[in-house]
């Protein structure tokens, strides 16, 4: 039997911290958890050396990393990004597309299927997140305006007929046809998410009732308080706070959101409703300097400096270069969030949002052995995906 014993670790379970604990992994699953060292022989051993042992990080919104973008049109891009993110503690991720042509999407779907079937040592691929093209022009951000449109049933049915790997889709709910679109996605067990939207509260609450239970990168590409005919209306941001059951994701890289907003979101929503996401481009995990936002063939040149990608004229951010370890570190150091809550927002909560918490997101007997060992500064020492060590700093 394929068995690994991790011992001498501070194990972060959903309920407590187990000091000097051990975890037995058998056939890719968590078989036992205990204080002290489990009396197991004939197995591979990993001495955690008193460091933290956490559930593997789950990134539900990323566009790439390690010099690769998921819109590059190659299997190597998917695998390269998955390998890079594993070095930073990510054990599972959701590759994300951008607003593009239907032809590009179809090509991406085919390549993803090949990548998913490949053998590699990196984060597992959970399924695809389509970001667009059903967005608000006013809140499009870096999304290509040439392809932005309203959702039409004939089109999205066609797109979904090309792939059974789509697990979430971000859209602006104020668009004509968006409510029907949300209901359609929900029936297909695909998560409808509010993103790049100029909606007001009345539209957001209706959207929530029609399946839009999650908000894509809160504060980025969305309305705050709006003034219409002299009257003020709550926007998407305020709606996220008003609707208790609405889940949100935040780019906690320390650049996209300042300490004050990170603290505000945490105070109002709490760790059970917040997922940390990288929303990272190809430059994640790479040295600073020039890079490309989007596909290698037709992407936009950007400058990476100060830990974030910027437009060449430095007038605006052009993308995140965060990795999951940095998100956890930021929430602890800048937002002053307890370690266990910061880890929860990178593990248990995203697993629940994506409805995979029956098998991932927490250190519980029977779940996948997706585990990360890191020190006090969240420097990753070991990453394990389904019982296999895919990265070791030693």
The C-alpha atoms of residue 90 and residue 323 are separated, in whole angstroms, by 8
Average pLDDT estimate for 105-113: 96
Average pLDDT estimate for 319-344: 97
- Asked whether residue 36 carries a pLDDT value surpassing 80, the answer given is yes
Sign of the alpha-carbon dihedral angle for 125, 332, 384, 360 = negative
- Asked whether residue 299 carries a pLDDT value surpassing 90, the answer given is no
Q: Which residue has the tokens 């009732």?
A: 209
The C-alpha atoms of residue 311 and residue 304 are separated, in whole angstroms, by 9
Q: Which residue has the tokens 């029936």?
A: 187
Give pLDDT tens digits for 196-251: 999 999 999 999 999 999 999 999 999 999 999 999 999 999 999 999 999 999 99
The C-alpha atoms of residue 130 and residue 86 are separated, in whole angstroms, by 22
**What pLDDT shows up at residue 225?**
97
**What pLDDT shows up at residue 1?**
65
Give pLDDT tens digits for 241-282: 999 999 999 999 999 999 999 999 999 999 999 999 999 999
Tokens at 209, concatenated: 């009732």
**What pLDDT shows up at residue 14?**
83
**What pLDDT shows up at residue 75?**
98
Quick check: 162 and 105 in contact, CB under 8 A? yes
Residues 6+ apart with CB under 8 A from 55: 12, 343, 347, 348, 360, 361, 362, 363, 370, 371, 372
Give pLDDT tens digits for 115-154: 999 999 999 999 999 999 999 999 988 788 888 999 999 9
Average pLDDT estimate for 54-80: 97
pTM: 0.97
H helix runs in the chain, sequence order: 75-86, 102-116, 153-161, 178-187, 201-209, 236-242, 259-269, 324-333, 339-344, 348-353
Confidence of residue 316 (pLDDT cuts 50, 70, 90): confident
Termini Cα distance of the chain: 25
Give Cα separations from 116 to 62, 349, 371, 374 (angstroms).
16, 24, 20, 27
- Asked whether residue 63 carries a pLDDT value surpassing 90, the answer given is yes
Percentage of the chain surpassing pLDDT 90? 90
- Own/partner pairs, 31-34, CB within 8 angstroms, 24+ separation: 31/3, 31/365, 32/365, 33/363, 33/364, 33/365
Average pLDDT, the chain: 96
**What pLDDT shows up at residue 41?**
87
**What pLDDT shows up at residue 240?**
98
Residues 6+ apart with CB under 8 A from 154: none
Give me the domains of the chain, ranges plus CATH numbers. 3-53+376-392 (2.30.40.10), 56-360 (3.20.20.140)
The C-alpha atoms of residue 188 and residue 157 are separated, in whole angstroms, by 11
Give pLDDT tens digits for 338-387: 999 999 999 999 999 999 999 999 999 999 999 999 999 999 999 999 99
The C-alpha atoms of residue 9 and residue 38 are separated, in whole angstroms, by 12
Beta-carbon neighbour count of residue 107 at 10 Å?
15
Confidence of residue 311 (pLDDT cuts 50, 70, 90): confident
């Amino acid at each position: 039997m394929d068995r690994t014993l991790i011992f001498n670790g501070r194990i972060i379970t959903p309920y407590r911290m187990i000091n000097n604990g051990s975890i037995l992994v058998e056939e890719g699953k968590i078989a036992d958890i205990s204080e002290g060292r489990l009396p197991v022989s004939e197995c591979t051993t990993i001495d955690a050396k008193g460091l933290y042992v956490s559930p593997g990080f789950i990134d539900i919104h990323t566009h790439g990393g390690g010099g690769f973008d998921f819109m590059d049109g190659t299997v190597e891009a998917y695998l390269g990004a998955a390998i890079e993110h594993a070095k930073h503690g990510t054990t599972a991720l959701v590759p994300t597309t951008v607003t593009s042509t239907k032809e590009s999407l179809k090509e991406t779907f085919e390549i993803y299927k090949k990548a998913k079937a490949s053998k590699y040592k990196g984060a597992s691929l959970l399924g695809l997140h389509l970001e667009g093209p059903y967005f608000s022009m006013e809140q499009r951000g870096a999304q290509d305006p040439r392809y932005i449109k309203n959702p039409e049933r004939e089109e999205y049915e066609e797109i979904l007929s090309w792939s059974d790997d789509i697990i979430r889709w971000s859209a602006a709910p104020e668009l004509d046809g968006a409510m029907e679109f949300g209901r359609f996605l929900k029936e297909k067990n695909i998560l409808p998410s509010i993103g790049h939207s100029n909606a007001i509260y009345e539209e957001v609450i209706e959207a929530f009732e029609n399946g839009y239970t999650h908000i894509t990168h809160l504060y980025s590409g969305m309305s705050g308080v709006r003034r219409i005919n002299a009257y003020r209306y709550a926007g998407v941001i305020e709606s996220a706070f008003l609707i208790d059951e609405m889940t949100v994701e935040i780019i906690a890289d320390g650049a996209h959101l300042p300490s004050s907003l990170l603290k505000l979101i945490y105070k109002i929503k709490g760790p059970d409703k917040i997922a940390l996401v990288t929303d990272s481009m190809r430059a994640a995990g790479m040295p600073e300097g020039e890079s490309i936002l989007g596909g290698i063939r037709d992407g936009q040149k950007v400058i990476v400096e100060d830990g974030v990608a910027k437009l060449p004229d430095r007038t605006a951010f052009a993308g995140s270069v965060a990795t999951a370890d940095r998100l956890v570190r930021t929430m602890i150091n800048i937002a002053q969030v307890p370690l266990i809550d910061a880890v929860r927002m990178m593990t248990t909560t995203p697993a629940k949002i994506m409805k995979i918490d029956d098998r991932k997101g927490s250190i519980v007997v029977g779940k996948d052995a997706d585990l990360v060992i890191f020190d006090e500064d969240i420097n990753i020492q070991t990453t394990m995906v389904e019982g296999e060590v895919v990265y070791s700093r030693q």
